[in-house]
Amino acid sequence: MLSIEENAKLSEVGRGTAMGELMRRYWIPFRLSSDLPEPDGDPVKVTLLGESLVAYRETSGKVCLIQRHCAHRWSDLFYGRNEEGGLRCTYHGWKYDGSGRCIDMPTETEDSSYKDKIRITAYPVEESGGVLWTYMGPPEFASEMPRFEYLNVPEDHRHVSWNWQENNFAQAIEGGIDSAHSNFLHATLDQYHRTEKWVEEGRRTQNLRDLYHARDQHPKFFSEDTDYGVMTGARRDTGEGQHYWRFNLFLMPFYTMPPSAKTLKFFHAFVPIDDVNVQRWTFTWSLDAPLRGDQVQEWRKGSGLHAALEPGPDHIPLRRLANDYLIDRGTQRTRNFTGITGTGEQDFSVQEGMGPLTPRHKEHLGTTDVGIIKMRRRLLRDATALEDGDAPRSAADGGVYHLRSGDILLESSAHWMDDARVREIMTATW
């Protein structure tokens, strides 16, 4: 468990907080490119790390991210006119460019230089992989963009989505790196018996999870710090003189990369909107072929990891806390463990069900929680180190993110962190 004070330090992300300052040293995904589809189009409200911002695509096609309020009388620039290389306030016509400079002030006299003294907060934006990224930290410490494999594959090999989630970012991360829950939260009721039947028939597929995941309901967990964050290994006994290992990665400061299929990979980002809301991103990519159109359409309907969304610009899930995730108790009794459709929505139900901010001083952690403990300590350690002037290495070296996660069978004598076969399956090649 954490103390009340440690929990606050872990969870609070506003400017001037220890965790908020750490987050600001990294590039942050904040919108899809398609959320701002055209030059001089509609502005979009953005809240990141507790800051009220507005994004717009200016006449040149460049995306800009500036504070949401005009410096004059604090009116909301979301209602502004996106025109001719800037965003113009509808109250008195003050106009701002993407660097935050006031470039026109029609209420002042023609010979006035007052506009040259006015500047609002603005953050740089990079567009990569169909995603808009920003850096909110001190410009002199600007970090490298993370070099995820996802960003290098052809456009038709990848799909990304994000949705609003109503809880603190840290408890979402904890769900992302918790390998023990998949035997329950995401399980069908016949999963264990079905797996045993496959083994009895001697069937051998390419999917190790199908063969071995449900055999051992009591996996043993191991966790180690790495240059990118924390690596957690879940070890299951196969009954055949080998161990089945699944590797789950936490990548600083808010990414999780669970084990996935051999050629279809994914990771999540849990980007803090504020202290009690988070953007949940899902990045999926194929290693060997373009994604099928029907597959992507099913994802958009909420099949699997990508949540089904309500229409509109805010990416609100169709199945969410306010409607109890459309839980079907009949399905829960006869087909799956939760009665909730969608792997993502099943995750929401437990993460949001903890409340906006889980009271970690009341927890009773078990042996399966070693990765969660290590992740919390890593975030708190790096936040404290930054307060002392020591910047995180993972912010400076985007190459540490060139990873995959996965699973593997190893001899019982093999050491999971040192085995070359483990390093091989986790090294991205694009």
What is the average pLDDT value for the chain, to the nearest integer?
93
- Res. 190: pLDDT tops 60: yes
pLDDT score, position 358 = 95
Q: Which two tokens stand for residue 333?
A: 């009794």
pTM for this prediction: 0.93
Res. 192 pLDDT band, cuts 50 70 90: very low
pLDDT score, position 183 = 73
Of 251, 254, 248, the residue nearest 235 (C-alpha): 248
Per CATH, is 27-141 categorized as 2.102.10.10? Answer: yes
pLDDT score, position 269 = 98
245-263 pLDDT, tens digit per residue, is 999 999 999 999 999 888 9
CB–CB of 36/44 below 8 Å?
Answer: yes
* φ and ψ at residue 393, rounded to 5 degrees: -65, -35
- Res. 122: pLDDT tops 70: yes
Residue 253: asked if its preceding bond is cis (omega within 30°), the reply is yes
pLDDT score, position 212 = 75
d(CA 55, CA 15): 19
* φ and ψ at residue 33, rounded to 5 degrees: -55, -35
Mean pLDDT of 415-430: 89
Mean pLDDT of 37-65: 98
Please state, for a pLDDT cut of 70, what percent of the chain lies above it: 95
Domain extent listing, the chain: 27-141, 149-425
pLDDT score, position 194 = 56
Please state, for a pLDDT cut of 90, what percent of the chain lies above it: 82
d(CA 142, CA 134): 10
Mean pLDDT of 306-314: 94
Of 38-52, 193-207, 271-285, 365-379, give the lowest mean pLDDT range: 193-207
- Res. 127: pLDDT tops 80: yes
- Res. 199: pLDDT tops 70: no
Mean pLDDT of 102-127: 97
Res. 216 pLDDT band, cuts 50 70 90: confident
Mean pLDDT of 220-237: 94
pLDDT score, position 214 = 65
pLDDT score, position 196 = 52
Mean pLDDT of 267-280: 98
pLDDT score, position 371 = 95
61-111 pLDDT, tens digit per residue, is 999 999 999 999 999 999 999 999 999 999 999 999 999 999 999 999 999
312-333 pLDDT, tens digit per residue, is 999 999 999 999 999 999 999 9
- Which of the given ranges, 25-34, 183-192, 302-311, 401-410, has the highest pLDDT on average? 25-34
Mean pLDDT of 191-209: 56
Per CATH, is 149-425 categorized as 2.10.109? Answer: no
